[in-house]
Every structure is written in C-alpha cells, then in structure tokens.
C-alpha cells in the first residue's frame, strides 16, 4: 500500500479554530495518530515482522511480513510528521488514551490494552519460535493486531477532523482487511 497522504504543512503550532482543527488535526486526530504509531511498532507489528524475516518457516509468511512492513514504514513516517506539525509527540498523544480496555487482558506500550496487542509472554514465545510453529503464532497474532488497527482507524474515520488522517485511516482499513483475509487463508491452508 502506498501512502498518498502527505503530512500537512504549517508552523508546528496547534491551532484551535474549526478550520485549523480540520486542516491541522485536533486532539482526537492527535490521539488516534499517536495510538496508531505506537500500535504499528508494538507487539507483533514491526517487531514481529522483523522476527518473521529470520524465523518464519514459510516463504509466504516471510513475503507477507515484508509486504506489511513496506506498507507500515511510510505510514509511521507520515504520522510522525503530522504529530510534529501539530506540536505533539507519539507519547503525549497516545497517553491521552489511558488504559482503555477493549475486552482483552493483554497490555502493551503506553498502557494500551486490547487492540490486538500481545502480552510480554506472548511476544517472548514468538521470539523463540521458529519454522511452522512461528508461522502459526505470527499469523494468529497479526490477525488480532490488524483487527485492533482497524478498530483504531475506524475511530479516526468517524471522530477525526483532519482529512489526510481520515484518508490514511481508510487506507489502513482497506489494506489490513485484505491482509487479514490473506493471513486467514494461510492459516486455513495449514501454514
């Protein structure tokens, strides 16, 4: 997935008028973008993708990890640019989400729970797994992780004000739904 949305230009000050919020992002945009950046990096996200490049048993899993990483790296850079322009950081904007629980007992960076985040134990298990055992664990974790990303993107789509952030949310939803279908097919095929 190529990210067409560019970080908005500006002087880095967070404005408060309705037109400025729509152009530069309001607090809801900053929280959503910060959460998504943390989410992309945490759990089976970037860390799991890197593990897949060396621990996967299936070339299909390795190729999928490369594809996901290639899509998410520019998304992360774009979101970092927005936060900088809005006078926010990933940690300050994601701290606003507190300990929101979405029915999961897993915890992650910045107090995030649920949202497809994996526990330290699960990540430890993934780090030591290899071959087909790794493939199954990675795919199962990434399906849940993607579902969490879709949930966050849907929140940005419905509550956000910045048109570029909402467009990126749409791209994330589309891409990650497709990747879930691909991962589920690999799991169903006995990878």
Cα torsion 110, 149, 100, 33 to 10°: value is 60
CB contact at 8 A, 56 and 42: no
- Please, which pLDDT band fits residue 118 given cuts at 50, 70 and 90? confident
Q: In this predicted structure, what is the pLDDT of residue 94?
A: 47
Average pLDDT over the chain, rounded to whole? 76
For the chain, which residues make up each domain, given as ranges? 19-92+106-188
pLDDT band at 177 (very low <50, low <70, confident <90, very high): very high
Cβ neighbour number for residue 184 with a 10 Å cutoff: 13
Average pLDDT over residues 104-127: 64
CATH of 19-92+106-188, one of 3.20.20.70, 2.30.110.20, 1.20.1260.10, 3.40.50.2300: 1.20.1260.10
**pLDDT at residue 170, as a whole number:** 96
Which tokens hold the place of 155? 């929140």
Q: What is the pLDDT of residues 66-114, one digit of tens each?
A: 999 888 888 888 888 888 888 887 665 445 444 333 333 333 444 445 6
Residues 6+ away with beta carbon under 8 Å from 179: 64, 67, 68, 142, 146
pLDDT at 7: 38
When pLDDT is cut at 50, 70 and 90, the band that residue 64 belongs to is very high
Give the whole-angstrom CA distance, residue 165 versus residue 25: 8
Torsion of CA 36, 3, 185, 156, to 10 degrees: 40
pLDDT of residue 10: 40
pLDDT at res. 86: 83
CA dist., res. 110 & res. 32, Å (int): 13
Q: What is the CA radius of gyration of the chain?
A: 17
Sign of torsion over alpha carbons 93, 97, 102, 107: positive
Place of tokens 């999928």: 64
CA–CA separation, 140 and 158 (whole Å): 28
Handedness of CA 111, 117, 121, 123 (dihedral sign): negative
What distance in Å separates the CA atoms of residue 28 and residue 21, rounded to the nearest whole number?
10
119: confidence class by pLDDT, cuts 50, 70, 90: confident
In this structure, the number of other CB atoms found within 10 A of the CB of residue 12 comes to: 10
Kindly report, residue by residue over 160-173, the tens digit of the pLDDT.
Answer: 899 999 999 999 99
What would the pLDDT profile of 11-59 be if each residue is shown by its tens digit?
Answer: 333 333 333 434 556 677 887 777 776 666 665 566 778 899 899 999 9
């Amino acid at each position: 997935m190529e990210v067409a949305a560019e970080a908005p230009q500006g002087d880095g000050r967070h404005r408060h008028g309705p037109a400025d919020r729509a152009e530069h992002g309001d607090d809801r945009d900053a929280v959503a973008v910060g959460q998504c950046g943390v989410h992309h990096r945490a759990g089976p996200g970037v860390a799991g993708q890197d593990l897949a490049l060396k621990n996967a048993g299936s070339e299909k899993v390795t190729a999928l990890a490369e594809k996901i990483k290639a899509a998410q790296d520019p998304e992360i850079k774009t979101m970092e640019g927005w936060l900088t322009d809005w006078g926010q950081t990933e940690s300050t904007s994601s701290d606003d989400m507190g300990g929101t629980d979405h029915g999961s007992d897993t915890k992650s960076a910045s107090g995030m729970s649920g949202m497809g985040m994996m526990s330290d134990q699960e990540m430890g298990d993934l780090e030591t797994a290899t071959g087909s055992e790794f493939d199954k664990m990675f795919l199962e974790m990434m399906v849940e992780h993607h579902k969490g990303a879709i949930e966050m993107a849907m929140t940005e789509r419905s509550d956000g004000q910045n048109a570029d952030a909402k467009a990126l949310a749409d791209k994330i939803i589309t891409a990650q739904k497709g990747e879930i279908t691909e991962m589920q097919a690999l799991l169903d095929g006995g990878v």
